């Protein structure tokens, strides 16, 4: 069964830190607290490296909650036709779920259903069926731990499974689990959607997680995302769920991850100013 959601604001850990060492975790959690956020979104790219006891202590120290996200790689791609690769994907997703549960979090989000990459062609029926089956396994595993699973809809250069919220809802129907939701991200929506309201309104109470990012990943309001229309749509559906501010700079993010995210230019250097400005921007609109 699904866990009840609440409207809350969070900052992505990569706004403050590029790793999850003791110093990185403290920088991210304390930064989220200083900037006024309710939670920090931790990128569980390698959940085996997360010291859960240390993280729990820091969350308690700063009075911040945690949710988590990740994306799969070619070696863990659950759309694969190679059963050994699917098994590695299942293992990674279960471990991430375990870590989130140990941290007291209830929301797992991101590109959980495929590798985060530019695919050479469209997904085959087998690729899609493998993805759906893997998400059913993940959702069942997460449900036993009181965790919701949110499938992030991203642009065509990062997945061939679903690129719009309407496609995300179709995928959700195929997975058919009560603790699964669509996860929309304004950065990706700005590339793929027919405006910023259609998919929000179509999703309604099946919209479970939101990422707020500008078109160039910098300060909100300084690019070309139509945030007013997006937040108006959230209000129309009475959205109740997490809203994470997400922005990347190679001055903060690990170089390998910066390359994967194509962060070729830095639009900010002051994490706290960026984050606090973003929170004010979002709260003014919802």
Domain ranges of the chain: 8-285
Per mean pLDDT, which range of 14-23, 254-263, 276-285 is the poorest? 254-263
Helix (H) or strand (E) holding 233: helix 227-236
Q: Which CATH superfamily is domain 8-285 in?
A: Divalent-metal-dependent TIM barrel enzymes (3.20.20.150)
Are 153 and 182 in contact, with CB atoms under 8 Å apart? yes
What value does the mean pLDDT of the chain take? 95
Summarize the confidence of residues 216-230 as an average pLDDT. 96
Burial bucket for residue 102 (CB in 10 Å: 0-12, 13-18, 19+): middle
pTM: 0.96
pLDDT value at position 261? 74
- pLDDT surpasses 90 at 253: no
Percent of the chain topping pLDDT 90: 90
C-beta of residue 75 within 8 angstroms of C-beta of residue 45: no
Q: Are 95 and 69 in contact (CB under 8 A)?
A: no
Report the run of H or E that residue 151 belongs to, with start and end.
strand 148-152
* pLDDT at 171 exceeding the cut of 90: yes
Residue 1: what pLDDT?
65
SS3 percent helix, strand, coil of the chain, rounded to 5, is 45, 15, 40
Distance CA 222, CA 230 (A): 16
Would you name the residues annotated as active-site residues? 152, 246
Question: Mean of the pLDDT values across residues 19-27?
Answer: 96
How do strand 180-185 and strand 207-212 relate by DSSP bridges?
Answer: parallel
pLDDT at 267 over 80: yes
């Amino acid at each position: 069964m699904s866990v009840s959601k609440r409207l809350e604001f969070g900052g992505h850990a990569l706004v403050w830190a590029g790793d999850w060492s003791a110093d990185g975790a403290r920088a991210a959690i304390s930064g989220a607290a200083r900037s006024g956020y309710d939670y920090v979104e931790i990128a569980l790219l390698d959940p085996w490296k997360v010291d859960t006891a240390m993280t729990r202590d820091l969350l308690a120290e700063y009075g911040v909650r945690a949710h988590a996200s990740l994306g799969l790689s070619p070696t863990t791609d659950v759309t694969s036709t190679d059963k050994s690769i699917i098994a590695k994907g299942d293992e990674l997703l279960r471990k991430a779920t375990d870590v989130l549960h140990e941290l007291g979090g209830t929301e797992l989000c991101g590109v959980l259903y495929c590798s985060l990459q530019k695919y050479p062609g469209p997904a085959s029926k087998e690729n899609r069926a493998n993805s759906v089956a893997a998400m059913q396994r993940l959702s069942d595993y997460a449900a036993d731990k009181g965790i919701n699973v949110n499938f992030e809809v991203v642009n065509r250069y990062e997945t061939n499974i679903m690129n719009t919220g309407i496609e995300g809802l179709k995928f959700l129907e195929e997975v058919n689990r009560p603790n699964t939701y669509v996860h929309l991200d304004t950065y990706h929506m700005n590339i793929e959607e027919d405006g910023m309201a259609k998919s929000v309104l179509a999703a309604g109470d099946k919209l479970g997680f939101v990422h707020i990012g500008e078109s160039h990943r910098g300060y909100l309001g300084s690019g070309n995302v139509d945030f007013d229309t997006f937040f108006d749509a959230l209000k129309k559906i009475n959205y109740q769920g997490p809203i994470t501010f997400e922005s990347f700079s190679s001055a903060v993010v690990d170089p390998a991850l910066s390359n994967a995210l194509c962060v070729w230019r830095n639009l900010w250097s002051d994490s706290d100013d960026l984050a606090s400005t973003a929170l004010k921007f979002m709260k003014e609109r919802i």
